[in-house]
Structure 1
Amino acid sequence: MKTNFYTYCILKYKHSPYLDESINIGVLIYFADTKRFSFKYSKNLSRVKCIYDNVPEKTIKEYIRQIDKHLKIHQEVTNNLFPLNDLNLKNFLSSYILPNDGTVLQFSHFKTDLLRGYSEDFIERIILEKVFIDDIKHSVQQQQEPKLLSKFKTNLKEHGLNNFKHNSNRYIEEYVLINETGSEFKFDIAWQNGTLNLVKPVGFDLKEGRGILDKAHKNFGQFYDLEKEAEEKKLRYDLIIGKPKSKDLFRDFDHAIKLLQKVNHVSLIDEDELDAYSIKVIKEISKTIL
């Protein structure tokens, strides 16, 4: 008897246990007529890496490789697990493919529907278009943040950075912070004035409001996770904020700023305040002149 239905679920990457957010990185479709699995996934994880720092890329790719391997093994076996639908696919995946053990990868959004006369290839294309949004583009983001950093460094030089011998303990470029798990977080500049202030530009001149919110969540999660290091090492995280040009994005930008302001040990410097901030930095690090 023809079963004439398909079931699909989405493979999601969840970066932090503290944040209820995830990114679609794969989709698994099971076609009951042919008992065939179709597993499509991101080959380079570009969507994940453009939103989050310190992504465990090798670990994720190994999980995906194992998922693909075990799906092929079970596809060749006929047993009482088949045919699968949204009621038992979840149990099948957790028992044989990807255990629910709190890893960064999770299968979710299970749904079963009829083929309705469409081909399996057509169903695959429709589902892929539905569950995968365009990657967040790097172009605007990469243009704004280097510009913010360049403007800051130019201001520092204009206010006398090169006119004195600054103590390396009070002014450091390319500072690396290592947290308790051994993960590295890179900051462009660090300067001392009682606390060690780690500087990072964060540009929000993106194409869509969703991108602004994703980036805010990313930074919120990162600096929330680094609160312990800030307390123990007397750190402050100075984020140079780049604003969006489109007025349509101001509402999302305001929400992003309010979110970042909730994190302890984070100070936000508007790009329009860079000159005053640069003078403050020079004043502090110049105290080491002999």
Structure 2
Amino acid sequence: MKTDFCTYCILKYKHSPYLDESINIGVLIFYASTQKFSFKYSRNLSRVKSIYENIPEKTIKEYLRQIDNRLNKFHSTDKDIFPLNDLELKDFLSKNILSSDSTILQFSNFKTIKKGKFEESYIENIILQQNFVDDIKHIPYSPQEPKIISNLYRELNKFGLKDVKNNNRFKEDYSITTKNGAKFSFEFAWKNGLWNLVKPVGFDLKTSDGIIEKAHKNLGQFTDLESENSNYKYNLIVGKPSSKKLYKSYDSALNILEKLKYTEIVEEKDISKYSINVIEHIKDEISN
């Protein structure tokens, strides 16, 4: 029978089977009403690495990856996986997800709470706040792209955008459609012989993996666009991470994007110079 309860347990790292101590590195939540699991865990193991030396980092991350992959196979909304009780959940996890005699990672005892009318994201946030430190707590994420565009428009207006905006060489909310029907939208386009399509790409993310993944995603998208649309150039206005620890990954992301042939990469620090260039070229096109 489906209920409005959810059950959760903490995934703990035990550095030594001889020491009665552990560190919380993940949480597994099971929602009975939807028969779905939510697994949140530390991506960088910062707490573990700050306490212990020479931890088996690769082994731990492989465990975490396998747990995540195995749980995804049991997502279901059609039937009950098992009754909502601790014994059934423990048996399920031990047989299918993580053996109960694992010495490095172990699930704690289960706790069941009433979900009520609260959103799952709200429940997750409460559990994380109660059991974890900052490396996996929900930190409100504000996309960097709106800030980049706001800064860009401020600079464009400073150098005379209003004088050239209402002509056929500057178009806002520009979109193109590929041969396979995929639609790509751009903040605006400006003409300098070819149309330059402008898109912000923010790399102020939480992890190095996230930055590299986003770079590869954009590389794939714009590689497809370049191969289909030779009448355009693409201007990516990129934002830098706020954490200095991620600067190296950001540089790697730029190296990935620089493989694009008809795409110009503009760092946010160069927006003023870029804005001057845009306005001057639009004026030159108009005068010609």
Coarse TM-score class (shorter-chain normalised): 0.5 to 0.7
SS in 2 for 1:40: coil
1:40 alignment partner in structure 2: 75
Provide structure 2 residue ranges, at least 5 long, that are not aligned to the other structure.
Answer: 1-64, 82-89, 100-104, 107-135
Paired residue total: 182
Deviations 1:135-168 (A, max 9, x none): 998814x1x2111101111111111111346422
Provide Cα deviations, 1:162-195, integer angstroms capped at 9, x if missing partner: 1346422x10111011011011000001000011
Corresponding residue number in structure 1 for 2:223: 224
Matched-pair contact (CA < 8 Å) for 2:170–2:189: yes
- Opposite residue 283 of structure 1, the aligned amino acid is E
> Which position in structure 2 is the counterpart of 1:237?
234
What runs of 5+ residues in structure 1 fail to find an aligned partner?
Answer: 1-22, 30-37, 42-64, 73-117
Q: 1:138/1:241 Cα in 2 relative to 1: closer, same or farther (>3 Å)?
A: farther
Tell me: CA distance 1:218–1:165, structure 2 relative to 1, closer, same or farther (3 Å).
Answer: closer
User: How far off its partner does 1:39 sit?
Assistant: 1.9
- Partners in 1 of 2:146 and 2:140 — Cα distance? 12
Residue 254 (structure 2) aligns with: 257
Q: Which amino acid is the alignment partner of residue 253 of structure 1?
A: Y
The alignment's C-alpha RMSD in Å is 3.7
| Counterparts of 2:226 and 2:165, CA distance in 1 | 32
Q: Are 1:278 and 2:250 counterparts?
A: no
CA distance in 2, matches of 1:135, 1:256: 26
The residue type paired with residue 264 of structure 1 is: K
The normalised TM-score by structure 2 is 0.54
Q: Find the counterpart in structure 2 of residue 152 from structure 1.
A: 152
Q: 4+ residue runs of structure 1 moved beyond 6 angstroms?
A: 134-138
- Per the alignment, residue 180 of structure 1 pairs with 179
Q: Could you tell me how far apart the structure 1 residues matched to 2:179 and 2:241 are? A: 34
- Asked if structure 2 preserves the Cα contact closer than 8 Å seen for 1:244 and 1:250, the reply is yes
TM-score (norm 1): 0.54
The answer to whether the 8 Å contact 1:172/1:189 transfers is: yes
The residue type equivalent to 2:184 in the other structure is F
Alpha-carbon separation, structure 1, partners of 2:272 and 2:161:
13
